């Protein structure tokens, strides 16, 4: 029974209930390094400690596309090393795992090797191969019927998602329909707004390896995360989000600009190349007719 109106504590208590209901499930937490999945991780760990029961298996996964923003990628990899040790100390059933997109789905293999244009909002071919497929394949190998995937999705993020989530009786639980087996999604931060997400990140102590101040500094100027689960609730790529340094779906890479402004000058060549890719794609004189191509 929930005893509080504090949104973060309510999220923790809802997660405690979920953990108690599904103690024998494979729990998989999809971690991108951004604020939402960081808050989801913190709330899950706070709930795990409060629930005082053991779980069969908990895996924190990160999907390495090969073209992640190098600053964020270095941050997540550093964090993952420490997290692996810290979580292992909590319970032997906790682990971390880095997924990679297969070579044939990589960004430059598709662009240089196959002639795909740099992605746009209307032709966003990249998310499926780079993020969604590796995550789906990982889940498919882990008995989907007995799997709960924890996602850092928030209802307040978009009206479209609000409408979609409003159809479920319990906002925290969603069903993910997949060809290789349906599985459950659990959304611990579904009812939180942005400031409550930061409250969770700064207010909850575990994992200590996740330093809120570092994340806040990295996050300045970014507003979302590229989705790794294909679901009706998943957000479209939002401007200035953490994700691939090559991303031409956004008109301007505000996140990279903010990081450069904060002193990460090593990102400048990446940003210039991304801008060139975007301009090249938008220039009709650079495209070939079919006859010229063959």
Q: Is 142 in the site for ligand SF4 (CB under 6 A)?
A: no
Contact string 199-228 vs ligand SF4 (x = CB under 6 A) = ---------------------------x--
Q: Taking the complex as a whole, how short is the minimal distance between the CB of residue 245 and ligand SF4, in angstroms?
A: 9
Binding characters for ligand SF4, 224-253, by CB under 6 A (x = yes): --x----------x-----xx-xx-x----
Both tokens of residue 283? 């220039």
In whole angstroms, the minimum distance from the beta carbon of 247 to ligand SF4 comes to: 3
Looking at the DSSP assignment, which residues form a beta bridge with residue 61?
A: 30, 97
Q: How far is the CB of 197 from ligand SF4 (least distance, A)?
A: 20
Of 47 and 151, CB closest to ligand SF4:
151
For residue 130, give both structure tokens: 């780079």
Nearer to ligand SF4 (CB atom), residue 15 or residue 248: 248
The answer to whether 167 touches 41, Cβ cutoff 8 Å, is: no
**Smallest separation (angstroms) from ligand SF4 to the CB of 279:** 16
Task: Determine how β-strand 94-100 pairs with β-strand 57-64.
Answer: parallel
* Secondary element (H or E) of residue 115: none
How far does the chain reach from its first CA to its final CA, in angstroms?
A: 66
Q: Which residue is nearest to ligand SF4 (CB)?
A: 243
Structure tokens at 134: 């590796």
H or E element, residue 135: helix 133-140
Residue 124 CB, nearest approach to ligand SF4 (Å): 5
CB 99 within 8 A of CB 129: no
**Number of residues in contact with ligand SF4 under rule CB under 6 A:** 13
Options 126-134, 168-176, 204-212, 260-268: segment touching ligand SF4 (CB under 6 A): 126-134
Beta strands 147-150 and 94-100 are unpaired
> H or E segment at 147?
strand 147-150
* Shorter beta-carbon distance to ligand SF4: residue 57 or 246: 246
The residue among 131 and 133 lying less far from ligand SF4, judged by its C-beta, is: 131
Give the residue from 183, 254, 216 showing the smallest Cα distance to 25. Answer: 183
Residue 63 or 204: the one with the smaller Cβ distance to ligand SF4 is 63
Tell me whether residue 39 or residue 130 sits nearer to ligand SF4 (CB atom).
Answer: 130
Residue 3 burial (CB < 10 Å; 0-12/13-18/19+)? Answer: exposed
| Smallest separation (angstroms) from ligand SF4 to the CB of 96 | 21
**Residue 43 CB, nearest approach to ligand SF4 (Å):** 25
CB of 227 to ligand SF4, least distance (A): 8
Return the closest-CA partner of residue 39 out of 226, 228, 194. Answer: 194
Q: Count how many Cα atoms sit within 13 Å of the Cα of residue 109 in the half-sphere of its side chain.
A: 12
Site for ligand SF4 in 93-122 (CB under 6 A): 119
CA distances from 192 to 10, 68, 90, 168 (A): 10, 27, 26, 17
- Between 176 and 255, CB nearer to ligand SF4: 255
Would you tell me which residues interact with ligand SF4 (CB under 6 A)?
Answer: 119, 124, 126-127, 130-131, 226, 237, 243-244, 246-247, 249
């Amino acid at each position: 029974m929930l005893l509080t109106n504090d949104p973060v504590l309510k999220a923790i208590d809802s997660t405690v209930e979920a953990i108690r209901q599904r103690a024998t499930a494979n729990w998989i937490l999809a971690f991108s390094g951004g604020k939402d999945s960081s808050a989801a991780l913190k709330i899950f760990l706070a709930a795990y400690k409060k629930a005082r029961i053991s779980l069969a298996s908990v895996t924190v996964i990160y999907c390495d596309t090969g073209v992640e923003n190098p600053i964020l990628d270095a941050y997540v990899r550093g964090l993952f090393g420490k997290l692996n040790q810290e979580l292992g100390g909590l319970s032997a059933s906790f682990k971390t795992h880095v997924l990679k997109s297969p070579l044939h789905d990589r960004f430059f293999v598709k662009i240089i090797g196959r002639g795909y244009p740099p992605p746009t909002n209307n032709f966003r071919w990249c998310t499926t191969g780079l993020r969604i497929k590796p995550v789906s394949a990982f889940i498919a190998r882990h008995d989907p019927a007995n799997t709960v995937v924890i996602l850092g999705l928030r209802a307040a993020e978009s009206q479209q998602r609000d409408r979609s989530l409003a159809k479920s009786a319990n906002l925290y639980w969603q069903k993910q329909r997949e060809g290789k087996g349906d599985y459950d999604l659990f959304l611990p931060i579904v009812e939180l707004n942005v400031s409550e997400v930061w409250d969770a990140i700064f207010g909850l102590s575990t994992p200590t390896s996740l330093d809120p101040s570092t994340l806040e500094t990295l996050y300045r100027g970014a507003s979302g995360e590229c989705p790794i689960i294909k679901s009706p609730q998943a957000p479209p790529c939002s401007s200035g989000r953490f994700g691939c340094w090559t991303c031409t779906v956004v008109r301007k890479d505000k996140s990279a600009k903010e990081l450069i402004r904060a002193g990460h000058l090593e990102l400048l060549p990446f940003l210039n190349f991304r801008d060139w890719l975007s301009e090249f794609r938008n220039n009709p004189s650079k495209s070939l007719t079919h006859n010229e191509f063959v």
